[in-house]
Structure 1
Amino acid sequence: MKKIFSIFSLILLSIVDFVAFAQTQRFPRPEFESGYTQPVTSMPEPRAGIFALVDVLLLIAALSLITWFIHKKRSRTGVVVTSLFSLVYFGFLREGCVCSVGSVQNVVLALFNPGYHIPLSALAFFVIPLVYTLFFGRTFCAGVCPLGAVQDVFLLRPVSLKKWLQKVLGLIPWIYLGLAILYAATGTDFIICRYDPFVGIFRFNATFFMFAIGAAFLLISVFIARPYCRFLCPYGVILNLVSRVSKKHLTITPASCIQCKLCENSCPLDAINKPVEVKQMEDKRSATRRFILLGMIIPALMIIGGWVVSNFHENLAMVNSKVRLANELLHFDSNTMEESLEIEGFRTSGKTNEELYLESATILKQFYYGSWMLGAFVGLVFGLSLAGLTRYKYREDYEPDKGECVSCARCLKYCPVEK
C-alpha cells in the first residue's frame, strides 16, 4: 500500500511540474531591448482558460480521491498523501489562488455588483466543495484545502481547549464572514485574501506583519489543531452548516460501536461527541416557556446587535478608499498640510470634490444599512448559539460532530473494529 501511495504521489507531482512548465512555455515573459527588468508582482498572474480548467479538474479529482480514501478505504495515509499534493499544488504552485475560502467574496461581489463578472473558476471553487460536503461531509477540509494542510503539517503535540473557550472562539468566523460580505458587497476590499495568513508564505512575498501572523498561526498549530480553520475561516462555517445535513459522513467505526472509549480523546479538534445518558423528558410547560423566552431573546439580540454595529458604520467605511480620500480632502488644509499621493492622484483624475463627496455619501449609506444587517446577523448567531446550549440530544455511541469534524480520519486507527 505504501508503494502505491509513493507512486501515486510521484505521478501527481509530475503532473504539477508539467502544468507549471507548460504555462511558462505558453506565456513566456517578454524580452525588452532597453534593459527593462520585469518587476516582481505581488499577485499571481491571471490564468489562461485551459489552465483554469486544469485547476478545476484537479480540484474535482482531489475531492473525489480523498472522499474515496475516507469513506471507502478509511485510510488516514490516503488523506495525508492527498493533503500533501494539495499543499504543493494549490498552495505553493498556484500560490493560494484561486482559493475556495476567498471565493466567497467573488460570489458576494457578483450578487451585489451587476457589472462584475465572476470568473467561472472562482465560482467552481466556491460551489464544488459545497456539493461534496453536502453529500460526504467536510472532505474538502480533510486534505484538499491548502490552508488546512499547511497547519496539519505542524501539528505535533495537540492539546484540548475548554469547551466554553471553543464556543466563544467559534463565534469569530461568523463575524469575519459578515465583515467579508459587507466589504465585498460594497466593492471595498477582499479582506479574506488581504489578510490570509498563509498566502504570503505560499508566494514567498509576505510582508513582515503578515509573515508574523502566518508564523504565529503555524506555531499555535503545533499544539492547537487548525486554529485558522476552527476559529477564523469564514468558508469553514459555511461548510460546517452544510456538513450538518450531509447525506453521508465519516463514521468512527465501520460497524456498531462497542463502547471501548479508545477513540474518546483521539480527535485533536475535539469533534467527537460522547454518549449522553437518557435524561428525564422536559415537561411540555417548561419546554413552551423556554421556546417563548428564546423567541424573545433572539430578535432582541438581533436589534441590539444591529444598533450597536450601525453606530460604527463610518469607522467600518473608512476601509473604503473613496470614503477615506473624501474624508482626507474634507479635512485638508493647504496652508498647513502637504498633499498626499492620493490627493495628488485625485487632482489629476479630472473629478471634482463634489463628485467624490457624493460617491462617498452613497457608500456611507450602503455601510449604514450593511452594518445594521451585520449586527443583526451577529446577534442571530449569538442567539442561536445560546439556544444550542439549551438543546438536549440523546446519544448512544461515540460519533463525529458532523459540523465540526473535518474528516481527517485520525480517529479511525483507534477503533478496534477496524482491525
Structure 2
Amino acid sequence: MSSRRIAFQGVTAILQNSWFAGFLRGRVWRGSSKAVCVPGLNCYSCPGAWGSCPIGSLQAVFNRASDRISLYVAGLIGLFGVVLGRLVCGWLCPFGLAQELLYHIRSRKVRVGPTRLRYLKYVVLAVLVILMPLLVRDSFGVGDPWFCKLVCPAGTLEAALPLMALNASLRGAAGWLFAWKATLLVATVAASVVVYRPFCRFVCPLGAIYGLFNRVSFVQLTLNKDTCTHCGVCADVCKMGVDPSVHATDPECIRCSDCVAVCPVHALSLGLQSSQRKQGTTTN
C-alpha cells in the first residue's frame, strides 16, 4: 500500500507541475488555469505549476486592499476538505511526497508520538496566513503573503531554487530573506530524514485546515467496533502518532491506509462514508 501510494503521489505531483517548458526557460506559467487552486501545497511560482497553491491563494484574498473576501478560494479549499479531508495530505500533496522520499533514506529514525507541537500549525494558520495579511499592510493598503514570504519551504524548493538556477539576475538579487528560507528548507530536509513528515505534522497550515474536516469529510477512515480487538497494531504502524482504534477521525490522520493494511481482524477501512455505513462500520 505504501509503495502504491507514493507512486500515486508522484504521478499527481508531475501532473500538477506538467508545464515542462517552464523548467527549461526559467519562467512561470501565467495562463488562465492559475486561477484554480490545486488540492495540495504546491507553489504558484514553481516553473511547471499550472495551478495555484491554496495557502498562497488564501493569503492573496486576505492581503488585498479591497477588504472583500473571495468566497471562491475559501469555497474551493472547503470543497477539498469536505470531500477528502486530510486524504489530500497523504495522496495529493507534492511537498508531502518530498518528505516521504527523504524519510526513506537509511538513517536512525526518531518516532514522535502525540505532542502539543501539533498545535503549532494552527498558530501558523491563524497568524501568518490570516491575521498578518489582514492587519499588516503598506501605505497602499496591501498586505504581504507572510507565510509564503517568511516560512514556506515548499516555495523555496519548488520555485526559488529552480528559478535561480536558470536566472542569473535572480541569483544576484538574493539576500537575507532567501538565506533565511534556504536555512528553513535545509532544516526541514534534515528533519524529514529522521522524523516522518515533520512539516506536515507541526507547521503546515493547509494540513491544519484539512484536519478540521477529517471528522465530516465524505472519505473516512472507519472502525468496526464490534470487530476491533484493540491489539494496538494499527497504532504501532501509524507514523503520524494516531491510534485509529481510539480516534479514527483524528485531525492528524492523513488517510495513508497503513493501518488498514496491517489490521489482523480487518476492523479498519477507508472509503466513502455512506458506503461504510451500509456495511455496518462505525466511525470513531
Pair in the same fold by TM > 0.5: yes
Q: CA deviation at 1:268?
A: 0.8
Is 1:263 the counterpart of 2:256? The answer is no
Is 1:408 the counterpart of 2:272? The answer is no
Of 176, 201, 207, which aligns to 2:157? 201
**Larger helix proportion, structure 1 or 2?**
1
Q: CA deviation at 1:272?
A: 1.9
Partner of 1:102: 56
Looking at structure 2, the residues matched to 253 and 87 of structure 1 have their Cα atoms a distance apart, in angstroms, of 35
Distance verdict in 2 for CA 1:127–1:117, change over 3 Å: closer
Looking at structure 2, the residues matched to 149 and 162 of structure 1 have their Cα atoms a distance apart, in angstroms, of 21
Distance verdict in 2 for CA 1:145–1:257, change over 3 Å: same
Distance verdict in 2 for CA 1:115–1:87, change over 3 Å: closer
Question: How many residue pairs are counted as aligned between the two chains?
Answer: 239
Of 52, 58, 67, which aligns to 2:34? 52
Distance verdict in 2 for CA 1:11–1:132, change over 3 Å: closer
Looking at structure 2, the residues matched to 239 and 7 of structure 1 have their Cα atoms a distance apart, in angstroms, of 20
Is 1:161 the counterpart of 2:117? The answer is no
Partner of 2:76: 128
Q: Deviations over 1:321-351 (max 9, x none)?
A: xxxxxxxxxxxxxxxxxxxxxxxxxxxxxxx
Looking at structure 1, the residues matched to 187 and 121 of structure 2 have their Cα atoms a distance apart, in angstroms, of 18
Larger Rg: 1
What is the DSSP-based 3-state SS (H/G/I as helix, E as strand, rest coil) of the residue aligned with 2:82? helix
Conserved in 2, the CA contact under 8 Å of 1:251 and 1:399?
Answer: no
User: For residue 217 of structure 1, what is the amino acid of its counterpart?
Assistant: T
Q: Deviations over 1:235-272 (max 9, x none)?
A: 32222222233344123679932433322211111022
Looking at structure 1, the residues matched to 12 and 209 of structure 2 have their Cα atoms a distance apart, in angstroms, of 33
TM-score relative to the length of structure 2: 0.65
Partner of 2:90: 142
Q: Identity, % of aligned pairs?
A: 24
Q: CA deviation at 1:210?
A: 1.7
Distance verdict in 2 for CA 1:11–1:87, change over 3 Å: closer
Distance verdict in 2 for CA 1:10–1:250, change over 3 Å: closer
TM-score relative to the length of structure 1: 0.47
Q: Which runs of no fewer than 5 residues in structure 1 stay unpaired? A: 30-39, 64-82, 274-396
Conserved in 1, the CA contact under 8 Å of 2:9 and 2:94?
Answer: no
Of 207, 220, 235, which aligns to 2:191? 220
Of 128, 134, 141, which aligns to 1:185? 134
Looking at structure 2, the residues matched to 12 and 147 of structure 1 have their Cα atoms a distance apart, in angstroms, of 9
What is the DSSP-based 3-state SS (H/G/I as helix, E as strand, rest coil) of the residue aligned with 2:57? helix
Partner of 1:375: none
Distance verdict in 2 for CA 1:242–1:400, change over 3 Å: same
Distance verdict in 2 for CA 1:15–1:106, change over 3 Å: closer
Q: Deviations over 1:142-174 (max 9, x none)?
A: 1222222211221246533354xx11x133223
User: For residue 161 of structure 1, what is the amino acid of its counterpart?
Assistant: V
Conserved in 2, the CA contact under 8 Å of 1:133 and 1:242?
Answer: yes
Looking at structure 2, the residues matched to 210 and 417 of structure 1 have their Cα atoms a distance apart, in angstroms, of 46
Q: CA deviation at 1:117?
A: 8.7
Distance verdict in 2 for CA 1:142–1:114, change over 3 Å: same
Conserved in 2, the CA contact under 8 Å of 1:160 and 1:268?
Answer: yes
Q: CA deviation at 1:231?
A: 1.3
What is the DSSP-based 3-state SS (H/G/I as helix, E as strand, rest coil) of the residue aligned with 1:264? helix
Distance verdict in 2 for CA 1:151–1:418, change over 3 Å: same
Looking at structure 2, the residues matched to 183 and 200 of structure 1 have their Cα atoms a distance apart, in angstroms, of 21
Q: CA deviation at 1:413?
A: 1.9
Looking at structure 1, the residues matched to 85 and 143 of structure 2 have their Cα atoms a distance apart, in angstroms, of 33
1:12-411 alignment to 2 at 5 Å? 17=18, 19-21=19-21, 45=28, 47-49=30-32, 51-52=33-34, 59=38, 93-94=48-49, 98-109=52-63, 113-114=65-66, 123-124=72-73, 126-156=74-104, 158-161=109-112, 163=114, 166-167=115-116, 169-180=117-128, 181-186=130-135, 187-194=142-149, 195-203=151-159, 204=161, 205=164, 207-251=178-222, 256-273=227-244, 397-411=245-259
Distance verdict in 2 for CA 1:176–1:87, change over 3 Å: closer
Q: CA deviation at 1:196?
A: 0.9
Q: Which runs of no fewer than 5 residues in structure 2 stay unpaired? A: 136-141, 165-173, 268-284
Q: CA deviation at 1:214?
A: 0.7
Looking at structure 2, the residues matched to 11 and 238 of structure 1 have their Cα atoms a distance apart, in angstroms, of 21
